[in-house]
Chains A and B, each alone.
Chain A
Amino acid sequence: MKISTWLRKTGWRHLVGVIAAVYALVPLIWVVDASFNGLSNLSTASIIPDHFSLDNYRKLLTDPNYPYLTWYKNTLLVAGLAAILQVAIAASAAFAFSRLRFKGRRVSMLGILIIQMFPQLLALVALYLFMFQIHTWFPAIGTGTKAGLILVYLGGAMGVNTYLIKGFFDTIPRELDDSAKVDGASQWQSFRLIILPLAAPVLAVVGLLAFIGMINDFLIASVLLQDSKNYTLAVGLQQFVSGRYDEKWGPFAAGALLASIPVILLFQFLQRYIVEGLTAGSVKG
């Protein structure tokens, strides 16, 4: 095949692919470079690294005013715990919708669907005022606490997730729970011992997606959390670089890299499921 034919047929596709890939990767490349070049300001970070140093990582982890490790732990704790509880709540609701027949079933499913169209963040002001009121009665779960943030996140547990999980439960043959019932299993036992284990992979995927979603939440976390030691990464890192002339970009790049690598890996691992979920109609942020 002549070069010109190849170019016309396939070559230009590679050209487009490479340009698009560079476009997609610029921020990541910059972060890698800026975090390792040892300089803390923006001006010297370039695409091609000139020297290697871990200075920025040292600065990031030792700055007493910006406790990065605490934020990291807070994020894992809040997003992790909320994701587990969300899945537990969504799975048990999905079980009722999939396996039990009761009055008001269709209506409540429709209701959930309609309520979900109004994301929690639209009621942000009221959520804040409400949590502030809670704070005056029960300071341990009001504004300014991680527990309060988790509780607010649980408000979104019944929703898209319930639908996804119910859809999967519906594909598990009913004969399985019927035969368990014949063997004397209670409803709770057939949920706990038959349905849940079979659905474990789906539950894991739903949970991990919820986890990533909550790591990404800036809005609610920034409104509810007030004290630097309770911040999540999103709130903390925003504060970290909010000054226009701040010389914190190097350490910030280090922090951004440490925070995004696990999420990117998790995402690559989940990609197949996410693509399936995407075409089923859910949208990320």
Chain B
Amino acid sequence: MKLILARLVAFAAINGVGLWSITTLATLRQWFAMSIVLVLTIVVNFVYLSRRTMAARYLLPGTIFLVIFQIYPVFYTAYTAFTNYSVGHMVSRGEAIQGVVRSFVEPVESGGNFTFTAVHQEQTLGLLLTNADSKKILLGTSFGLTAISNATIDQDGNGIAIPGWQSYKTKDLLDPVLQKRLTSLQVPINSSSYIVADSTTTAIEKVSTVKYDPVKNRLVDKATGYVFPEHGGNFIGPDGTKLDPGWRVNVGAKNFVAVLTDKRISGPFFKVFIWTIVWAILVVLSSFGLGLALALTLNKKMKGQRIYRSLLVIPYAMPAFLSVLIWGGLLNDDYGLINRLFGSHIPWLFDSFWARISVLMVNLWLSFPYMFLVTTGALQSIPAELGEAAAIDGANAWQVFRRINLPLLMVSISPLLIASFASNFNNFGTIYLLTGGGPSMKGSEVAGSTDILISYTYKLAFGYGKGGDYGIASTVSVFIFVIVASISAFSFRRTRALENMN
């Protein structure tokens, strides 16, 4: 009984959320997204109602998240790499035309004057408008105007509430976020005039000064007659002024060509690319070297062995983001502990050579315990008899290590070294949290001397100042994908994961 009830509740909840999302997307006129949610809801219902989908019931939740948040973003990255997607080119062409037309507006001399009450239905903001002269009541949203007959009115005949919508109170209007949404709301009357709030209680009619000419695909300034033909996702005026916003267009392989040949982008890109590889190799070699040395040293019956081991694991146990931030303090050139301890004045984080040394040192600190742990484990699994037999045959300690222990060790460790290379290739945390990729590289506005590809991507897309260039950032991501795929294909044959498949 309890189980049936629980199922019913879950079932109702899923369908409720599904239906609600579908209606929300329908009111927003997002037909594509709506049909995706619709299909998804039907699939979920089918899987949990049909008797023939036993395995799918257990796999569906994970699969849904996998597809939406991992597989889809990968394809979307590839798609974005072929567009001019960036801040200023975020919207579709239609929305951009609307945006430009709406951004050039001026009050209409003979236009209507309104008082309004701000109302909302879920997230949709609306103006309950009362015409100051005729006292006619209208509901305006970003989609348009509807005449209202069932509004509640106050003694002056102004609409203050309507069924199905919630009215904002005067104190709500003090919220700057809401104020901003209110002032940016434009209620379209027709293709070129709008009703716009000009205070928190009154609104006026405004008309756009430019007009879209659908035949010649251009914008025309109504007063001056200037034309703005479209070019590569923008309307561009005779003097070269770009009208904002622009829109997303496919640019073909332009971004790829730019990354590979445009000096301003390809120069830093190749430098960052080479450093990424050097970085990943040096990190693997140094951490494996130190880890192995420590494992060999401490892998002998001695007092305090356990204490050494648990102390050496501390860097691995501390949350890495904190360790890196702490090292940032220790390496501060003016006040940091390291410079004061050694009485030096080394610009650890602000000189391109020393910054590279710093990120390598800090990452060595972060990753040697892992190598220490795995090599200790691997060393212990090598039977001692092998070394003893070799010793009887006259091999010295170095020969035993070089000819017997090391080759056996590499069998189990080499897949881990490849994995470590792959993960350090994308080790964003150490680089970004320690140096922010800096200091800046000569000849590049974005890239810095310690930037690796993933931090370079991050800065292209989300960096302060410059940034917002999603198309180019995605193109760099595609390059990383290709490199990671090659490393993976190489290591795939070497992992034991496949054996687990039966």
Contact = CB atoms under 8 A, between A and B. Distances in A.
Contacts of A125: 77, 80, 457, 461, 470, 473-474, 477
Nearest to A242: B436
B328 A259 contact: no
Contacts of A129: 76, 80, 85, 470
B477 A122 contact: yes
A151 interface: yes
A279 interface: yes
Given A123-B477, A259-B319, A93 B461 contact: no
A225 interface: no
B30 A128 contact: no
Interface string A236-254: 0110010010000100110
Interface in A205-244: 212, 215-216, 218-219, 223, 233-234, 237-238, 241, 244
A160 to B, nearest CB: 9
Contact of A281 (B24, B298, B415): B415
A275 B377 contact: yes
Nearest to A140: B123
B58 A122 contact: no
Interface in B402-435: 412, 415-416, 419-420, 422-423, 426-429, 432-433
Interface in B362-413: 365, 369-370, 373-374, 377-378, 412
Nearest to A219: B428
Contacts of A285: 320, 423, 427, 429
Nearest to B322: A256
B426 A119 contact: yes
B335 interface: yes
A53 interface: no
Contact of A241 (B61, B329, B340, B485): B329
B321 A238 contact: yes
Given A24-B311, A100-B54, A123 B62 contact: no
A121 B426 contact: yes
Tell me the interface secondary structure of chain A in the complex: helix
B501 A158 contact: no
Interface stretch (B67-75, B130-138, B224-232, B256-264): B67-75
A241 B325 contact: yes
A112 B497 CA distance: 12
A274 B298 CA distance: 20
Interface in B477-502: 477, 480-481, 484-485, 488, 492, 495-498, 500-501
Interface stretch (B167-175, B215-223, B302-310): B302-310
Nearest to A91: B58
A126 interface: yes
B314 A237 contact: no
Contacts of B341: 47
Contacts of B62: 89-90, 92-93, 157-158, 162
Interface string A8-41: 0010011011001101111110110010000001
Given A155-B70, A281-B415, A268 B317 contact: yes
Contacts of B311: 21, 24-25
A244 B454 CA distance: 24
Nearest to B337: A30
Nearest to A104: B55
B491 to A, nearest CB: 9
B143 interface: no
Contacts of B315: 24, 27
A278 interface: yes
A10 to B, nearest CB: 5
B302 A13 contact: yes
Interface string B446-463: 000000001001100110
A115 B71 contact: yes
A122 B426 CA distance: 8
B9 interface: no
Interface in A248-285: 249, 252-253, 256, 259-260, 263-264, 267-268, 271, 275, 278-281, 283-285
A216 B319 contact: yes
A261 B311 CA distance: 14
Nearest to A155: B69
Contacts of B461: 124-125, 128
Interface in A148-182: 151-152, 154-159, 162-163, 166-167, 170
B45 interface: no
Interface of B: 21, 24-25, 28, 30, 33, 54-55, 58-59, 61-63, 65-66, 68-74, 76-77, 80, 85, 123, 294, 297-298, 300, 302-304, 308, 310-323, 325-330, 332, 334-337, 340-341, 365, 369-370, 373-374, 377-378, 412, 415-416, 419-420, 422-423, 426-429, 432-433, 454, 457-458, 461-462, 470, 473-474, 477, 480-481, 484-485, 488, 492, 495-498, 500-501
28 contacts: A17-B298, A23-B365, A25-B314, A27-B315, A31-B326, A42-B329, A92-B61, A93-B62, A109-B501, A112-B66, A113-B497, A113-B498, A118-B74, A118-B481, A122-B74, A123-B73, A124-B461, A125-B474, A126-B477, A154-B65, A163-B500, A170-B500, A219-B432, A252-B329, A256-B326, A268-B317, A281-B416, A281-B495
Given A10-B302, A121-B428, A218-B433, 4 more contacts: A20-B312, A122-B477, A155-B66, A167-B500
